[in-house]
Structure 1
Amino acid sequence: MRPTLVFDLDGTLIDTAHDLVATLNVILERENLTALPFENAVSMVGHGARVLIERGLAANAVTREAAIVDRMFDDYIAHYTDHIADLSRPYPGLIAALDHFAAEGWILAVCTNKLEHLSVDLLGRLDLASRFAAICGADTFLARKPDPIALTETIRRAGGVREAALMVGDSKTDIDTAKAAGIPVVAVDFGYTPIPVTELGPDAVISHYDELVGAVTRLRPDLAVAR
């Protein structure tokens, strides 16, 4: 039975915030609204494009009818697709960590609330897609995180089993999803959550990917991850 390691995407595998915020500002400016400073907008990232747009509108102290938000969402996806990897890059140490787990026979997968085609596109442009047995997004299944079905179905699609799986994420959504699925979760503290992950009850916290092997080993020594 091969163990499975499931990763969130934005703020966990890849630092995508600059491209996400840049796209938000393009869409806001098309509506004659004020672009947001990156440092103010980064905490809005991580819950999908529609929520990001709604938060951008709220930051401008305006609302828009649902049909206009729908159009803004479509415009956002179109622009973001063309600029999805302009500035987005893997977090330091990620590639070495993926290499290690792959060499040890682990199945690697992605469970994200980003749309599936955008997730596959981003990881493909960064030459990472082939490393994952499954890349599942907000529209892959009938449920999305924090519904545990999104995680358990990702594991199943990747060829793993829940009993031999762990998750790595950066947010309350990821932690709640893993807990609901009965799966240990490692939180990274360099993601986009405005709440420190130490306050969200993960099973372990890491500050760099060179700490991941040790964290996984402590949580599941029975899965025999070599140091």
Structure 2
Amino acid sequence: MRSVIFDLDGTLADTSGDLIAAANACFRQIEGRDVLDPETDQGVALRGGRRMLSVGLERLGRYEPDVVEAFYPVLLEAYAEDIARHSVLYPGAMEAVAALSASGYGVGICTNKPEHLADMLLQRLGVRDAFAALVGADTLKVHKPDPEPLREAARRVGGDPAKTLLVGDSDTDRNTAKAAGVPSVLVTFGPSGADMAALQPEALLERYEDLPALVARLIGANS
């Protein structure tokens, strides 16, 4: 079976608002105020919790790796407590997922979000059942850009890892697919969309309506 594996944050859903809120909960403990801006720091948010903490601490002139590690569990706890207040699925995302599934592709998720948080978010958004597999940052001993989580996601949906495609929004996703020897499609509607062309993926995606045709062109149709 051919499969299509999706990244989560910045690809299927805009989760930046809730991620930034969790980081700012940490900064209120550290500095007594919010540091990250929900409007201008979306790209920072989608690089993960440690990146948000690092950027905020650098702005405060207080960056220390030990502080990042100390507050990372605090950030995750704050995020879990209010994980879907602002997060929304991108327009057309689930319609594309349904169309791919109906065409016989295995559909799953490979994310660098901890698995339990990814599962919680998908449940809250009401779409967990649409994906046959979920591989998170801590599912295996390695995470993206190591290719093994992508391959494992393909296997878990019943697919051949050599006949899969990764839909993502970052250099991490591009490098993961490249390491696995499979094509990647990078979305251009996220916070870092303008930077995706420079990564030279096999295709760019401006709107989800175009994804099924791109998939068929890049990895073929399931017979």
TM-score band by shorter chain is: over 0.9
Counterpart CA distance in 2 for 1:106 and 1:140 is 23
- Per mean C-alpha deviation after superposition, the further-off stretch among 56-65 and 210-219 is 56-65
Q: How many angstroms apart in 2 are the aligned matches of 1:207 and 1:63?
A: 36
TM-fit CA distance, 1:209: 0.6
- Structure 1 residue 159: Cα displacement: 1.8
Residue type matched to 1:219 in 2? Answer: L
Q: Does 1:180 align with 2:187?
A: no
Q: Which runs of 5+ in 1 are unaligned?
A: none
User: 2:221 is aligned with what amino acid?
Assistant: L
- For the Cα contact (< 8 Å) 2:122–2:128, is it kept in 1? yes
Residues 65-98 of structure 1: CA deviation (Å, up to 9, x unaligned): 61x4333111111110011100101100012111
Q: Is the 8 A contact 1:172 1:200 kept in 2?
A: yes
TM-score with structure 2 length normalisation? Answer: 0.93
Matched, 1:49 2:49: yes
Q: Distance in 1 between matches of 2:201 and 2:221?
A: 19
**Counterpart of 1:36?**
36
**Secondary structure of 2:185's partner?**
strand
Q: For the residues of structure 2 that align with 1:44 and 1:115, how far apart are their CA atoms?
A: 18
CA distance in 2, matches of 1:166, 1:57: 36
| Separation (CA, whole Å) in 2 of partners of 1:36 and 1:125 | 25
Tell me what 2:139 maps to: 140
Compute the displacement of 1:48 (Å).
2.3
Change (3 A) 1:52 1:36: closer
RMSD: 1.7
What whole-Å deviation, never above 9, does each CA across 1:16-51 have from its counterpart, x for those lacking one?
011111211121111115422223321212332122
CA distance in structure 1 between the partners assigned to 2:100 and 2:133 by the alignment: 15
Q: Which amino acid aligns with 1:62?
A: R
Equivalent residue letter for 1:42: Q
User: What does 1:76-155 align with in structure 2 at a 5 Å threshold?
Assistant: 76-155=75-154
Aligned partners of 1:95 and 1:19: how far apart in 2? 20
- The answer to whether the 8 Å contact 1:171/1:192 transfers is no
Letter in 2 for 1:186: V
Task: Tell me by how many angstroms 1:195 deviates.
Answer: 6.2
Kept in 1, the 8 Å contact 2:110–2:150? The answer is: yes
Give aligned pairs, total.
222
**CA displacement at 1:102 relative to structure 2:** 1.3
Partner of 2:161: 162
